Structure 1
Amino acid sequence: MTTTSDCLLLPILASKAAPGLARTLTRSRLDKWGYGHISDDAFLIASELITNAVTATPGKEIRYQCSRDIDGVLIAVWDSSPSTPRVRPLIEMTLDTLDVCEEHWDDNGGRGLPIVATLAAECGHTPDPHGGKWVWARLKP
């Protein structure tokens, strides 16, 4: 991924705190650029991409990037896993099918990448030549 002088690029420990840290830092960057109006979408995208990276590489380093160019705002997350992102089949949930017991709570997810694809102008993943991958989404300001 390319960077510019006002790009936010930081290493983060893949933990439950990572999405919140990224949202906090993204808010000030978007406000600085005059893009506060897309902050809700950017926060959700950043949270989803970081959560997937945390799931793929718990306790390891991930990298978060928020940058802008003539095509818009780029939100990107790197992790060291060679596995490519996979969209799980969406199933309609009802209160009867929702499993709220602790050991199955995470099985109720799987909607992150479709949400990202809906909010972003474009999104995808790119292998990193040094290992791992970047998963990214671009927002139009």
Structure 2
Amino acid sequence: MLTTPDCLLIPMLASKAAPGLARTLTKNRLHNWGCMHISDDVFLIASELITNAVAATPGKEIRYQCSRDPAGVLIAVWDASPTPPRVHPLIELTLETLDVSEESWDDNGGRGLPIVTALATECGHTPDPSGGKWIWARLKP
């Protein structure tokens, strides 16, 4: 991924705390860029991509990038897994099928990547020559 002088690029532990850390660090960057009007979408996309990276490589290093260029704001997450992202079939949730147990709390639906696709101007994944992959989404400011 390309970086710019005001790019936020940080390694972090693939843990449940990672999405919140990314949102906190991104807020100031978006404010400085005059892009707070898209902050809700950026925060949601960052959370979804990081959550997927945490699931793919729990307890390992992941990398989070938030940058901008003439095409918009880029959110990208790297993880060491070579497996490309996969959109799971959407399951219609009902009160009978919803599993609210602690171990399944985040496993109800598989709506993350469809949400990213709906909010982003463009999105995709790119294998990293050093290993792993980058999952990315771009938003127009």
Q: Same fold, TM exceeding 0.5?
A: yes
Question: Match for residue 27 of structure 1?
Answer: 27
Counterpart CA distance in 2 for 1:58 and 1:125 is: 19
How far did residue 105 of structure 1 move?
Answer: 3.2
How far did residue 103 of structure 1 move?
Answer: 4.1
Mapped pair 1:82 → 2:44:
no
- 1:68 partner SS: strand
- 2:45 partner SS: helix
Question: Match for residue 58 of structure 2?
Answer: 58
- 2:135 partner SS: strand
TM-score (norm 1): 0.97
TM-score (norm 2): 0.97
- 2:82 partner SS: coil
How far did residue 94 of structure 1 move?
Answer: 1.5
Distance 1:140 1:37, change over 3 A: same
Question: Match for residue 125 of structure 1?
Answer: 125
Identity within the alignment, %: 81
Q: Is the 8 A contact 2:93 2:109 kept in 1?
A: no
How far did residue 92 of structure 1 move?
Answer: 1.2
Residue identity in the other structure for 1:88: H
Question: Match for residue 115 of structure 1?
Answer: 115
Counterpart CA distance in 1 for 2:74 and 2:121 is: 10
Question: Match for residue 134 of structure 1?
Answer: 134
Number of equivalent positions = 141
Counterpart CA distance in 2 for 1:57 and 1:9 is: 18
Deviates more, 1:83-92 or 1:101-110: 101-110
- 1:83 partner SS: coil
- 2:67 partner SS: strand
Superposition map of 1:11-22 within 5 A: 11-22=11-22
Q: Deviations over 1:56-115 (max 9, x none)?
A: 001111000000000000000000001100000002111122122334434313110000
